[in-house]
Amino acid sequence: MNRNKRAFTIMEILIVMGIISIMIPVLFTVVFAVIRQEARVYALTTVKTQGDFILNSMKFNIRNSAISLHSAYPATDFNKVCTSASSTPIAQNPLVLRDRQGNSFYYSLSGNAVASNSSVLATPLALTSAKVSVSGFSMSCNLPSQYSAPIVTISYTVNYVSAVAGETAASLPYSTKIKLRNQ
């Protein structure tokens, strides 16, 4: 008998279905791992961008505008801090700064965001978006010697706010020291 083979046998169909049934879960696992990794990279990028923005804004304003440090708002000559040399930092919340025009400004934690407060602004200005939260915000000052400018130490942690329960959160700690220029 000479038959033309034009169709698949049941054995060939079962083998192909078996191979496909093994390959699909592997493929989905790889795709979901890539998607999860992209979400983690997005969260870390968001945290880094927001944290750098806070740090750079504060550094610029403190370095270029601040001439004195104070323990209370509004800044007056009676509440100046870091005026004598000390090796121990003075922690203030908030640490109020004064510029050459006599305007006071300070940074504080408002809810989960760092806010810039100023005698010029009517309301505090949030420096972060709702995508991140800030925790552990602190500012302190130190005058290493009588002949040097005060140093402001800032530290905080920026955390990614996830809408998905169980998602790995991204978090970055920030800490810096800023020397006042305008004395």
* pLDDT above 60 for 1: no
Residue 65 has pLDDT above 70, yes or no: yes
Q: Is residue 177 within 8 Å of residue 149, measured between CB atoms?
A: no
Provide the residue count of the chain: 183
Count CB atoms within 10 A of the CB of residue 39: 16
What mean pLDDT is predicted for residues 39-59? 93
Confidence (pTM): 0.79
If one compares 32 and 71, the residue with the highest pLDDT of the two is 32
Which pLDDT band, with edges at 50, 70 and 90, does 88 fall under? low
Q: Give whole-number Cα distances, 133 to 53, 100, 120, 154, 166, in Å.
A: 14, 32, 26, 16, 17
- CA-CA distance, 34 to 121, in Å (whole number)? 45
Domain ranges of the chain: 10-179
Amino acid residing at 158: V
User: Tokens 């220029």, residue?
Assistant: 181
Q: Can you tell me the distance from the alpha carbon of 5 to that of 30, in angstroms, rounded to the nearest whole number?
A: 38
| pLDDT for the residue numbered 73 | 82
